[in-house]
Amino acid sequence: MAYQVGSGRRLGISGLGEPASSRVVVLCHSAPGTGSVDPDPTASANSKLRIIGIDRPGYGASDRYAGEPRLEEWIGDVDDYLTRLEPTSERASGVDVVLGGVIGIGYGAFFAAALATAYPQLSRLVVVQPAAPLGRGEALDDPSFRDLDATDPMTGEASRQEVALEQAGGDGEAADHLLLADAGWGRRVRQARVPTDLVGAHDDPGTAWWRRHLHRPHVHPLAAGGLPGLAEGWRIALDLLAPHPDPDR
């Protein structure tokens, strides 16, 4: 669905997981893509988390920005939505919503880190198969889109990734190029001081870059990269963010 923020722009919002849960997790999708693509719907439903996928500018139901997109504008739009989410949910269901954490997949890891910096009250930042920074003029090469021919007939992982590619559109990809080709990402990532987990293949360049720049991350190695490791990484992320009786988890 599309949510209109105070600026007048539309923000694409998708609900995954358990819609009645009081614990909300924000999903920053891969590039290209949309927040509607669930890497493992069964794991999401069993997580007892309300997962909100938010489309970046020009993707899915989100408007493209007039002129050059700015990271601060997107963070402001997301803040507008999240600020209104808690009172709206409480009135509708009587449930007091808690913003539990944020997950970034592939290039979405950069935007998840930016939100973690803007929301220091978050319980956790989890980046799954994060990409290395994008150089100006380089094509998007999101780790979660590699090995698309490795289809799992039981889960249909490849078909869900293909849907993300079909829904993405050129406007979002162009905006991502402008937002990601920024030399300041190393500094921004280091500013995220919430508890952080890095889930990725040990030999991937993106994993190595994030391990150097994140503040004391807990590292969770994946046995495989690309599409084969995406569902595994997603399950690890959901387990880390799910409510646990042990406060140190």
The tens digit of pLDDT for each residue in 189-245 reads 999 999 999 999 988 999 999 999 999 999 999 987 777 788 899 999 999 998 765
Percentage of residues in the chain having pLDDT higher than 90: 49
- pTM, entire model: 0.89
What 3-state DSSP class applies to 217?
Answer: coil
Q: Where are the domains of the chain?
A: 2-241
Percentage of residues in the chain having pLDDT higher than 70: 84
Question: What is the CATH T-level fold of the domain 2-241, as seen in this structure?
Answer: Rossmann fold (3.40.50)
Question: pLDDT tens across 52-111, in order?
Answer: 999 999 998 899 888 888 899 999 999 999 888 765 554 445 557 788 899 999 999 999
Rounded to an integer, what distance in angstroms lies between the CA atom of residue 35 and that of residue 54?
Answer: 5
